[in-house]
């Protein structure tokens, strides 16, 4: 559990949003991972991860659903509270699940629950220009927000599958414009999923806030992967951007350390993990 007061003045204090912004400014890659319980959160934290996300991916990797759509606010709170107990340094972000932010008021109620009951420090929502008023409202109430663009898994049934986004020039342009607009609305971080390298690079240059990528190429400010993918737990066909860091590692902690090191040194992602 964070002991913010005790850790004040320590050599390595807990990560906060100012530190993440400074990492972007200084060109220091931000290493992020998902986690869903206290034991794994502790390992992820010990490995030196900067940001931990309690993602609604838990619907797939923990609950066994085919999509993230069935995940509820109560589910996210339950897992976020467990993860918070395992962390001492990493910045904790929690997903706003499907249909939990359809109006500014509903979004605020749910975001407050994720922060007060779960202990998250930032909420993440999947958005484009349709979520600008929600982001504005949350920012107006000092709720830190990460806006998730590119492939938005909560929209999988509308999109028609988990597909790379932004290969089309007009869509890439629109995504860049949305990133800028969401930043102006108050988003503190942009997360980009499954986009060509060029789109990731362009948006990273365009906005001042940190851009975290998953399948968004090497030219973003940070990388995130689903914990179970990094540890080789997920079975079946995996997305191109996934790398199993358990290969050749002595322990889960060593594998997580190898992931963090690979992100920080730029050794991950390589061409084989990227989309063009
Ligand atoms: O839900 C999740 O884990 C996510 C990551 C894939 C970024 O949104």
User: Which atom of ligand 1 approaches the CA of 148 most closely?
Assistant: 8
**256 contacts 268 by C-beta, under 8 angstroms:** no
* Set 11, 105, 136, 193: catalytic member: 193
Residue 3's pLDDT is 58
Helices (H) and strands (E) in the chain, counts: 12, 8
| Cβ-based neighbour number of residue 265 at 10 Å | 9
Overall domain count for the chain: 1
Q: Flag residues of the chain having pLDDT under 50.
A: none
Residue 12's pLDDT is 78
Ligand 1 proximal residues by C-beta, below 6 Å: 34, 53, 55-57, 95, 191, 193, 214, 224, 226
pTM above the 0.85 mark?
yes
Minimal-distance CA residue to ligand 1 atom 8: 55
Residue 55's pLDDT is 98
How far, in Å, from the CA of 6 to the mean position of ligand 1?
A: 31
Catalytic site includes residue 193: yes
Find the domain containing 25 and state its range.
3-273
CATH number (domain holding residue 246): 3.20.20.60
């Amino acid at each position: 559990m964070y002991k913010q007061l005790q850790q004040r003045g320590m050599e390595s204090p807990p990560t906060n949003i100012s530190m993440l912004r400074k990492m972007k400014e200084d060109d220091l890659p931000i290493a992020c991972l998902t986690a869903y319980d206290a034991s794994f959160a502790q390992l992820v934290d010990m490995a030196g991860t900067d940001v931990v996300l309690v993602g609604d991916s838990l619907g797939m990797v923990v609950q066994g659903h085919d999509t993230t759509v069935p995940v509820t606010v109560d589910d996210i709170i339950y897992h976020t509270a467990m993860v918070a107990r395992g962390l001492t340094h990493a910045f904790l972000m929690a997903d706003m699940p499907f249909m939990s932010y359809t109006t500014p008021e509903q979004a605020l109620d749910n975001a407050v629950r994720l922060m007060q009951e779960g202990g998250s420090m930032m909420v993440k929502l999947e958005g484009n220009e349709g979520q600008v008023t929600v982001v504005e409202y949350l920012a107006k109430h000092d709720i830190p927000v990460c806006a998730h663009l590119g492939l938005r898994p909560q929209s999988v049934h509308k999109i028609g599958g988990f597909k790379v986004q932004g290969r089309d020039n007009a869509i890439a342009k629109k995504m860049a414009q949305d990133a800028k607009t969401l930043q102006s609305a108050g988003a503190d971080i942009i997360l980009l999923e499954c986009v060509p390298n060029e789109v990731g690079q362009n948006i990273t240059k365009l906005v001042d806030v940190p851009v975290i990528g998953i399948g968004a190429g090497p030219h973003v400010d940070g990388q995130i992967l689903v914990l179970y993918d990094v540890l080789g737990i997920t079975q079946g066909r995996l997305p191109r951007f996934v790398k199993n860091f358990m290969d050749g590692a002595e322990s889960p902690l060593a594998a997580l350390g190898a992931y963090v090191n690979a992100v920080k040194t730029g050794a991950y992602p390589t061409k084989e993990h990227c989309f063009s």
